[in-house]
């Protein structure tokens, strides 16, 4: 921490539950979890706007919103997100929409007296061949994964913008980079969802349809890391209260699971009685992707939700919200 960071850290986020808190992107996987957590903690003045009410890509509208509402705290969980196919098909959307959202929100927050802002990104900001587990200082040390560089470049610019405003204006802007997330309000679309919700949906549909087997691509050997969004929301509150530094922080579970272990656990949670078959003619993807979250752990935060408990919770939500 630089000398001015200590002074900035004197704002206590949890001390004033009536403070105005703007959660940008409150209807998404991450934003919804943050709103649940803040409501649980007794925050009474959350400022929320749907996309229809406030388009964050429109500079004039964002400036007018901040000038009128003047939130004391801002959490940026709004982003244009998607899988490999979407990134390949709509690269202009991924770079321009994300740059617009974060630039408008960060700048307007600073200009309208926001005390503290937290910008959220993703683990895809790191180089394709980063060391494993990936430390924060691996950022910008090598080429990105080409399939999502449009999104990654925007998120890296957001980190740098928070750092620049901290340096130039002595303003308390921080960044957190979560690992692979899952939980309520995830995207369970059969074509463009991530591996965990896709597996949940496939096992569920196989169970409902009485299928004999579920075929999964690859050998099941790649290692992945997953964090329940409620754990991320807990980390967000912790960072708003305890962290005030220039460097972004990784937010991960620190626990690795093979795709095979994940599939077997998912089969058990969903209650699919058939066979699990591996199509080893299909590619495996990156052998390992794990973030080094020891900096955040060193400050005092660790996740609380086990993968099994998190899957049970997510499947309960899925059953209540997705009708076949």
Question: Domain of 101?
Answer: 21-186+226-255+290-307
Calpha distance 147→37 (Å, rounded): 33
Average pLDDT over residues 234-254: 97
* Residue 99 confidence class, pLDDT cut points 50, 70, 90: very high
- The answer to the question of residue 242 being in a domain is yes
With respect to residue 211, please indicate whether it lies within any of the assigned structural domains.
Answer: no
Residue 13 lies in a domain: no
- What percent of the chain is modeled with pLDDT above 70? 96
Active site residue 151: yes
- Domain with 36 in it: what CATH number? 3.40.50.720
pLDDT, average across residues 81-105: 92
Whether residue 203 is predicted with pLDDT greater than 80 in this model: the reply is yes
Query: Tens of pLDDT along 257-306?
Result: 999 999 999 999 999 999 999 999 988 888 889 999 999 999 999 999 99
Q: Are 54 and 29 in contact (CB under 8 A)?
A: no
Residue 281 domain flag? no
- Assigned domain for 50 exists: yes
Q: What is the pLDDT of residue 4?
A: 45
Return the pLDDT at 297. Answer: 98
Catalytic residue among 110, 126, 151, 243: 151
pLDDT recorded at residue 199: 95
The rounded mean pLDDT for the chain is 94
Going by C-alpha positions, the residue among 303, 307, 135, 276 that lies closest to residue 214 is: 276
For the record, the structure tokens of 280 come out as: 């080893």
Q: What are 45's two structure tokens?
A: 């003045």
The two structure tokens encoding residue 2: 């630089």
CB neighbour list of residue 81: distance below 8 Å, 6 or more residues apart: 28, 122, 151
92 CA to centre of own chain: 21
Which pLDDT belongs to residue 3?
Answer: 41
Alpha-carbon gap, residue 54 to 26, rounded angstroms: 12
Question: Distance from first CA to last CA of the chain, Å, rounded?
Answer: 52
Query: Is residue 197 included in any domain, yes or no?
Result: no
pLDDT of 7 > 80? The answer is no
pLDDT tens, position by position, 137-192: 999 999 999 988 999 999 999 999 999 999 999 999 999 999 999 999 999 987 77
Q: Looking at residue 10, what is its pLDDT?
A: 57
Half-sphere exposure of 303 (CA within 13 A, CB side): 25
Q: What is the pTM of this model?
A: 0.94
Q: What is the mean pLDDT of residues 97-101?
A: 98
Residue 231 has pLDDT above 50, yes or no: yes
Residues 37-64 have pLDDT tens digits of 999 999 999 999 999 999 999 999 999 9
Q: Mean pLDDT over residues 84-98, rounded? A: 91
Domains of the chain: total: 1
Residues in Cβ contact with 230 at an 8 Å cutoff, skipping those fewer than 6 apart: 33, 36, 37, 183, 305, 313
The pLDDT > 90 percentage for the chain reads 88
pLDDT tier at 232 (50, 70, 90 boundaries)? very high
Q: Is residue 98 in some structural domain? A: yes
Quick one: three-class SS letters along the chain?
CCHHHHHHCCCCCCCCCCCCEEEECCCCHHHHHHHHHHHHCCCCCEECCCCCCCCCCCHHHHHHHHHHHCCCEEEECCCCCCCHHHHHHCHHHHHHHHHHHHHHHHHHHHHCCCCEEEEECCHHHCCCCCCCCECHHHCCCCCCCHHHHHHHHHHHHHHHHHHHHHHHHCCEEEEEEECEEECCCCCCCCCCCCHHHHHHHHHHHHHHHCCCEEEEECCCCCEEEEEEHHHHHHHHHHHHHHCCCCCCEEECCCCEEEHHHHHHHHHHHHCCCCEEEEECCCCCCCCECCECCHHHHHHCCCCCCCHHHHHHHHHHHHHHHCCC
**1: pLDDT strictly greater than 70:** no
- Kindly state whether residue 8 falls inside one of the protein's structural domains: no
The pLDDT confidence band at residue 308, using thresholds 50, 70 and 90, is very high
Predicted confidence at residue 191, as pLDDT, reads 72
- Examine the pLDDT at 223 and tell me if it is beyond 70: yes
pLDDT at residue 84 is higher than 90: no
């Amino acid at each position: 921490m630089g000398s001015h960071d200590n002074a900035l850290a004197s704002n206590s986020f949890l001390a004033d539950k009536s403070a105005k808190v703007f959660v940008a992107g409150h209807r998404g996987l991450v934003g919804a979890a943050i709103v649940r957590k803040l409501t649980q903690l007794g925050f009474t003045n959350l400022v929320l706007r749907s996309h229809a009410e406030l388009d964050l890509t429109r500079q004039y509208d964002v400036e007018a919103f901040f000038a009128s509402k003047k939130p004391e705290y801002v959490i940026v969980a709004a982003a244009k997100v998607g899988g490999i196919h979407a990134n390949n098909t709509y690269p202009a959307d991924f770079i321009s929409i994300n740059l617009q959202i974060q630039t408008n929100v960060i700048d307007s927050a600073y200009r309208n007296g926001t005390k503290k802002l937290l910008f959220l990104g993703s683990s895809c900001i790191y180089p394709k061949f980063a060391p494993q587990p990936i430390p924060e200082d691996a950022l910008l040390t090598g080429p990105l994964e080409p399939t999502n560089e449009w999104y990654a470049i925007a998120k890296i610019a957001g980190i740098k913008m928070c750092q620049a405003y901290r340096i130039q204006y002595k303003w308390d802007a921080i960044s957190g980079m979560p690992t692979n997330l899952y939980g309520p309000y995830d995207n369970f679309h059969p074509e463009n969802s991530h591996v965990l919700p896709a597996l949940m949906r496939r096992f569920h549909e196989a169970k409902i349809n009485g299928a004999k087997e579920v075929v999964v691509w690859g050998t099941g050997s790649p290692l992945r890391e997953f964090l329940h969004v409620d754990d991320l929301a807990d980390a967000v509150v912790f960072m708003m209260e305890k962290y005030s530094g220039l460097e972004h922080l990784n937010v991960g579970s620190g626990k690795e699971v093979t795709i095979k272990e994940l599939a077997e656990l998912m089969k058990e949670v969903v209650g699919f009685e058939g066979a699990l078959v591996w199509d080893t003619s299909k590619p495996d993807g990156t052998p390992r992707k794990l973030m080094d979250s020891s900096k955040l752990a060193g400050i005092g935060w660790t996740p609380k939700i086990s993968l099994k408990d998190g899957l049970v919770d997510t499947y309960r939500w899925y059953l209540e919200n997705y009708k076949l």
